[in-house]
Structure 1
Amino acid sequence: MKNKLTRKLILYFSLTLLLFSLVIGVAFSTLFSKQTITIHTEEMTRRATVIAETLSHYFDEQETTNESNSSMNGMMGSGSSIKMGMGYSSFLNFMDQLALDDIWIVDENADTITVGHGMHNKEYSKLPENAQNVIKRVYAGKTTTSNAFSHFIGKPTVTVGAPVTNNDGTVLAVVLLHSAVSSVHKEENQGYLLLFISILIAWNIGLLLSILLSKKFIAPINKMSHFTEELVVENYEESLDIQTKDKIGQLSEKLTIKKNRLAEAKFQRENREQAQKNFLSTISHELRTPVTIIRGSLESLNDG
């Protein structure tokens, strides 16, 4: 009986821990997925803004240099579009390496896109309309987040656009920073792995504690079970020592009272049985003499 009860308690503890782990896992996966995307997007926005500000300083320095030396090819030509000047490609390559993601630079007229990882060009007109709208919003001076470039790039992608401005606040170009959603999922998978390991460790610790607590909880019940078995066979010499202030302690006190009453009842019953035996013995002794006399007289009368 005690083993069955212990197994039931351990099973209940285990099921409770499992249910708790499932609830925590579902809640964590939902919140962690959103939080991971949010943090990743915020980090991309920060990097895109830093790159845009760095390019703004770079263009300002190049414009100052061009004004002082008109013989050199400038970064800003007619129509205020960005031209490939001296050191520009190396500078963008350097920024591309720092970006950690795919970086695009769209010039002011939005007709040429300088693409990172080799710094080659793409035609703006080849972009889908929703992607062009993202660039237009950035040219309006707004830092924008979108997934409109996913189909064009060929895989799910998060894109952050930041404007490159001059000292007057005029937008000179757009920085587009692309990051594959798979990289975000990779971070999520690492988080899920840590969660799974943590839950597994917690479940094992909880299972061990459930075994120890179950045994501690069952111990007084086992004592009372053995105590009642002794009461069944009328062995009232056993004592029940359970020092707890809960219902089990109260039950232990009541069983002790019950034992004392049963012991007293047994003592009284034995005394009554002994008194009956003594009474019968006395009656038998007292009746033996007259019966013997009557028997002898009857035998004499029978003999004539």
Structure 2
Amino acid sequence: MRNKITFKLFLSFAVALLIFSLVVGSGFAYLFREHTINIKKQDLEERAVKIAQALGDSRDQMMAWQEKENSAIQKGEGTQKQGRQMGMGPDGKPSARLQGPMGLGFNSVLRFLGSAAAEDVWIVDADQNLEMPSHRDGKKPAFMYKDLPPDAEKVVRKVMHGEITTSSGFSNMLEVPTLTVGAPIKDKDGEILGAVLIHAPLSGMDMAAKQATRILLMCGGIALLAAFLIAVYSSWRFTKPLKTMQQTAERMTEGDYTVRCDVRQNDEIGELGTALDSLGERLLIARKESAQLDQMRKDFIANISHELRTPVTVIRGSLEALNEKVVTVPEKVEEYYRQMLSETIFLQRLINDLLDLSRLQNLTFKIEMTQLNLYDVLLEAVHSSQRLGKDKNIDVVLETDTKWYPIDGDYGRLRQMLMIFMDNAVKFSPNNGQVKLVLQGKRLEIIDHGIGVAAEMVPHVFERFYKTRVEKNKSGTGLGLAIAKEIAERHGMEVTMESQPGIETKIILLLEKK
């Protein structure tokens, strides 16, 4: 299973998803907590400011009422006792501390804040008196101002200087992670009378962050399951064409090159499938070519055996007849000698042609390429052909559009090629006939008006040992045209034959002029 693509894909999906989940989860938890704290901070700041403003307004109202009462007392409309009850000092002036810090008289306010608010609300006056709801409930205060740690005192000092401050400096004192917001209490003239401190525990925010993280982990688990399903489906989609290509390759190893995987995808797998199909096609072509070469080898052995058997049989028969004194008449003996000489000449020509053909078909055999004038080669071939056709009174004619036709080639091989074509043309031409050699542009034609070649035979005339079974061709080896074609191809020429039996036969050479 560990080596299966399904497992590897799933593992890849799982690791990628796990890393993604860890990064996103950690980032989310951090950002969520910070966002929650910022929201809580803004909320506490707003509430602290409102509480401070409400206390400041309450103090202003109380002071205005006290001043009004003091005026009434001075006019004899009140009593000193009443003045004291309403916040007067023994000297008849407003007291600095009346019913609470800052002389505000807000016992009920603190009790309400202590019971209604989810957070602790502390108040510090300008004389560093710490007031909290427990003071007004008759309970012993949990902390005094002197108990404040340095960080907490620093927060109070900033608030007393008019800043709205946020800090976690009270956390050690309250023994729980706490967010504290402080806001200054001001009177109508802007004088700072004290500070409001609101403490909110962070445990609720941490729990919210943990809950969000748990939800994220649950989603990650669901995503992991989805990743497994996607991995299974993806691996099936991914491995299906690979499995097909594997089966195709196995069948190819068994020798079946006709099988195709037919994978059509616009990706690397599709390219691999196309390459495999192309390989099968090439292997099939190679097999056919190999079979053709093998058949050609067999045909060659059969043909050479046939070509050698006839002269060898004639020579052996003649020698046996002479050796056993079967033939004793001098004229007959002379005829037998001439026959054996003719057969040995044929054997020599056959062997020479085979050697030439073998060398020309071997690409490592180099021919001597030099710059020459093709017209000179044509002219020499025409002169030689005229001597060949003298006995049959054959007229050999050369027609060209130029006497200067430079090409790169082997002079001797080009002359050999032309003489093969011209020899065949003279051989199959009737007495008093004509053979023409025509050079026009890039086209060279050898034209005769002999017996011609049947249409079904034309495609085979350049094959080895292929020759017409007529009396005029009994001395041929069947290798001449094959040799001529090899020479033409080694010079970059294309050679074809066109024939109308009994009318005209053309050998056409298409060549490149330098």
TM range (shorter): 0.7 to 0.9
2:19 equivalent in structure 1: 19
State the Cα deviation string for residues 188-234 of structure 1 (Å, max 9, x = none): 21232232223223333333223322322222222211211121112
SS in 1 for 2:128: coil
**In 2: Cα distance, 1:210 partner to 1:4 partner:** 12
Whether 1:4 and 2:21 are equivalent positions in the alignment is no
**In 1: Cα distance, 2:202 partner to 2:154 partner:** 21
The residue correspondences of 1:93-242 to structure 2 (distance < 5 A) are 93-115=111-133, 121=141, 123-242=144-263
Deviation at 1:46, TM superposition (A): 2.4
**In 2: Cα distance, 1:67 partner to 1:211 partner:** 86
Alignment length (residue pairs)? 283
- Name the stretch that deviates more: 135-144 or 180-189: 180-189
- Structure 1: stretches of 5+ with no match in the other structure: 288-304
- Bigger helix fraction: 1
**Percent of aligned pairs with the same residue?**
32
1:78 equivalent in structure 2: 95
One-letter amino acid of the structure 1 residue matched with residue 102 of structure 2: I
**In 1: Cα distance, 2:219 partner to 2:107 partner:** 48
- Decide which of 103, 110, 114 is 1:92's aligned counterpart: 110
**In 1: Cα distance, 2:29 partner to 2:195 partner:** 35
One-letter amino acid of the structure 2 residue matched with residue 40 of structure 1: K
Instruction: Please tell me whether the aligned partners of residues 66 and 94 of structure 2 are also in contact (alpha carbons under 8 angstroms).
Output: no
**In 2: Cα distance, 1:63 partner to 1:176 partner:** 23
Deviation at 1:107, TM superposition (A): 2.5
State the TM-score, normalized to the length of structure 2. 0.48
**In 1: Cα distance, 2:216 partner to 2:193 partner:** 46
Are the structure 2 counterparts of residues 51 and 236 from structure 1 closer, same or farther at C-alpha, using a change threshold of 3 Å?
Answer: same
**In 2: Cα distance, 1:3 partner to 1:235 partner:** 29
State the Cα deviation string for residues 99-156 of structure 1 (Å, max 9, x = none): 3211112233222422369755553234344433322221111112223323332333
**In 2: Cα distance, 1:227 partner to 1:2 partner:** 25
2:63 equivalent in structure 1: 63
Instruction: Please tell me whether the aligned partners of residues 2 and 222 of structure 1 are also in contact (alpha carbons under 8 angstroms).
Output: no
1:292 equivalent in structure 2: none
- Structure 2: stretches of 5+ with no match in the other structure: 71-81, 310-514
SS in 2 for 1:79: coil
Deviation at 1:237, TM superposition (A): 4.3
State the TM-score, normalized to the length of structure 1. 0.77
- Name the stretch that deviates more: 29-38 or 204-213: 29-38
Are the structure 2 counterparts of residues 3 and 137 from structure 1 closer, same or farther at C-alpha, using a change threshold of 3 Å?
Answer: closer
One-letter amino acid of the structure 2 residue matched with residue 7 of structure 1: F
Instruction: Please tell me whether the aligned partners of residues 2 and 218 of structure 1 are also in contact (alpha carbons under 8 angstroms).
Output: no
Deviation at 1:273, TM superposition (A): 6.7
The residue correspondences of 1:283-302 to structure 2 (distance < 5 A) are none
State the Cα deviation string for residues 41-86 of structure 1 (Å, max 9, x = none): 333222222222222233333333333445463599523642463x
SS in 2 for 1:159: strand
* Bigger-Rg structure (1/2): 2
Q: Greater relative contact order (Cα 8 A, min sep 6): structure 1 or 2?
A: 1
**In 2: Cα distance, 1:251 partner to 1:118 partner:** 87
**In 1: Cα distance, 2:135 partner to 2:280 partner:** 89
TM-align CA RMSD: 3.5
SS in 1 for 2:132: strand
Are the structure 2 counterparts of residues 126 and 16 from structure 1 closer, same or farther at C-alpha, using a change threshold of 3 Å?
Answer: closer
Instruction: Please tell me whether the aligned partners of residues 47 and 99 of structure 1 are also in contact (alpha carbons under 8 angstroms).
Output: no
